[in-house]
Amino acid sequence: MRLLLIRHGITQHNIDDMFTGQIDAPLTELGERQAAAAAQYLANEKIDLIVSSDLQRARYTALAIAEHHHLPVLEDPDLREIAMGAWEGCTPAQLQAHNLAEWTAVRGDPVNLAPPGGETFTQLQERVDRALRHYQEHYADKTVLWATHGGFIGTLFCCALKLDLRYRRCFRHDNTSISELIFEQELPWIMRLNDTAHLRMLSETTLLPVS
């Protein structure tokens, strides 16, 4: 299976450095233009299946791409971003100011600890593994595109490469960046990582790190 991964376009939460998690935040106007630029960039790619997280920021990004390929967009909740629970809608500065002990504990071990009502990265890994198994089994000889989220993509790279989850932040994924993996052996080939060539035409684009 050839797997194309695209992170959604930018949202106001990204701009404001807020934890979004599973809040259904829309794209900004710039995010919509990023999605359109990515769609044009991928217009000549061979794509057999387009699957999106069921959150609108990913779905809008996927729909922009699908228009060039005359394909439907399937939604899969397993492709959602990690749930951040009580931290969703908050900035790191707010959390450190109001609950420093909780912040320090969770950020010190996010693989095994989660914000109240949220997921650990171990739990997210279970969703990533389930999605990878399903699509590899059913679309082994196809090119599949997933429109998803930064935390999900970083976790996927760790899963695919059999790395400890603490290395997930070594893989940067800017808004509408494109990465590509080919699964034909025990460990996949990394063909592209954080490709943002299509954003060079958007002069106001700000590339933000994954929070």
Q: Is 8 a catalytic residue?
A: yes
For residue 209, the model assigns a pLDDT of 47
Question: Given 8, 69, 149, 198, which residue is catalytic?
Answer: 8
Q: Contacts by 126-131 with C-beta closer than 8 Å and gap 24+?
A: 127/78, 127/79, 127/80, 127/152, 128/78, 128/152, 128/155, 128/156, 128/159, 129/159, 130/78, 131/76, 131/78, 131/79
CATH number at residue 45: 3.40.50.1240
Residue 210 domain-assigned? Answer: no
Residue 138 domain-assigned? Answer: yes
Question: Given 13, 69, 81, 173, which residue is catalytic?
Answer: 81
For residue 203, the model assigns a pLDDT of 60
Residue 125 domain-assigned? Answer: yes
Which residue range forms the structural domain that includes residue 188?
2-201
Q: How many domains does the chain have?
A: 1
Residue 208 domain-assigned? Answer: no
For residue 142, the model assigns a pLDDT of 98
pTM of the complete model: 0.93
Residue 182 domain-assigned? Answer: yes
Residue 161 domain-assigned? Answer: yes
Residue 209 domain-assigned? Answer: no
Residue 207 domain-assigned? Answer: no
Per-residue pLDDT tens digits for 86-128: 999 999 999 999 999 999 999 999 999 999 999 999 999 999 9
Q: Does 204 have pLDDT greater than 80?
A: no
Question: What mean pLDDT is predicted for residues 74-94?
Answer: 97
